[in-house]
Structure 1
């Protein structure tokens, strides 16, 4: 198993990566700070009197403003392949009162920044309803149904992917190398040193010289603790063998 395009799009849009906005009838693009709520709607946190807030002010009697959010993946390692790029199109409107307070809590679930305390004063919060999602990787463009995008869940390991890969490389290289060779069997070539270069809820991508292989977990993992539980038999084979002997 591996992530679907809708899941990758939700992961890229979650709020852990830099984004730029192309705002209708305005010069740009402009960098924006954002997250997505549990329905995949984009929340934009901007200075109330800044360039972005000025560009987002509705015109011609409208209540909202059309824009496109452009988000590129930033691979965790120099040797890691990119997950690609996502464009999210829709209409953004400023939130006030109870709507702003509820959305601020949603924002804090991903990024509990201090500026959330200044919404309504020096900061403004906008919500963008998603109308179109496009995902590009390796020059292949996929149109994602907005409902599929909304129903998908961001990968729970993306924000800690660098830490996880670095930990495997620093402390478990030998165990991971043995595990990968066992899984690949005859496909593993002598002299190739397997390196984990990407990791998600479904498995990990390993690079060996000029080749790559994806190895799947027995089931999708839910968080870092669940991943540690799943990898324990791989990384602590001696402990597992001792436990089985004792039993």
Structure 2
């Protein structure tokens, strides 16, 4: 098992990676703080008198502005492969009143930034209603169905991936290496010690000399505690005997 294109796109757009906005008929790109809510709508947080808010001001006769949010993966470790890039196209609308308050709470559920306390005064929130999602990896470009995007969920490990991999390297490198070698059997045994370089709810990616291999979990994990439970027999394989 491995993530779908929609799941990877939602993971990239969850809010833990930097993004830039390309706005129709405006200079740019412009850096933007963002999160994606549970329904797949993108929320943009910016200073009221900043460049982004000015660029998103609608043309006369309109109440929204066309834009593209561009987000690239930042690998967690040196030597970790990137999982790609996503472009989210749609129309950005300035939120006010009840919609602004609701969006502020939705934003805080994902990223409890102190700047949210200033929304309505020095900070504003725009909502990007998604019309098109495109995902690219290794020069392969895929159109992600907008309904699939809305239904997908970001990976629950994305914000702690670095910590998880660092913990395996620092405290469980020998156990993980032994586990990977057991999984590989006699078909291929790398010269260097196998090293985990990426991790998600479905499994982990391991570097084997100059190759990469993906090892799947028996089932998708839901959070860090669930991952620890699932990895226990891997890190202490005798417990599973």
TM, length-normalised to structure 2: 0.98
Aligned to 1:186: 186
Alpha-carbon offset, residue 98 of structure 1: 1.2
Aligned to 1:212: 212
Root mean square deviation, CA, Å: 1.0
Corresponding residue SS for 1:108: helix
Aligned to 1:92: 92
Alpha-carbon offset, residue 187 of structure 1: 2.7
1:101-180 matches, cutoff 5 A? 101-180=101-180
Alignment deviations for residues 4-62 of structure 1 (CA, whole Å, 9 cap, x no partner)? 11100000000000000001110000000000000111100000011110111111211
Q: Contact 2:190 / 2:209 at 8 angstroms: preserved in 1?
A: no
How many residues are treated as equivalent by the alignment? 241
1:62-77 matches, cutoff 5 A? 62-77=62-77
Aligned to 1:49: 49
Corresponding residue SS for 1:22: strand
Aligned to 1:8: 8
Q: Point out where structure 2 has 5 or more consecutive residues left out of the alignment.
A: none
Alpha-carbon offset, residue 190 of structure 1: 5.3
* Aligned counterparts of 1:190 and 1:31: Cα–Cα separation in 2: 42
Q: Which runs of 4+ in 1 moved over 2 A?
A: none
- The farther-off stretch of 184-193 and 201-210 is 184-193
* Aligned counterparts of 1:96 and 1:236: Cα–Cα separation in 2: 54
* Aligned counterparts of 2:164 and 2:226: Cα–Cα separation in 1: 13
Alignment deviations for residues 108-147 of structure 1 (CA, whole Å, 9 cap, x no partner)? 1111011101111000001010000000000000001111
Alpha-carbon offset, residue 96 of structure 1: 1.0
* Aligned counterparts of 2:215 and 2:189: Cα–Cα separation in 1: 16
* Aligned counterparts of 2:175 and 2:188: Cα–Cα separation in 1: 15
Q: Contact 2:89 / 2:130 at 8 angstroms: preserved in 1?
A: yes
Alpha-carbon offset, residue 192 of structure 1: 2.9
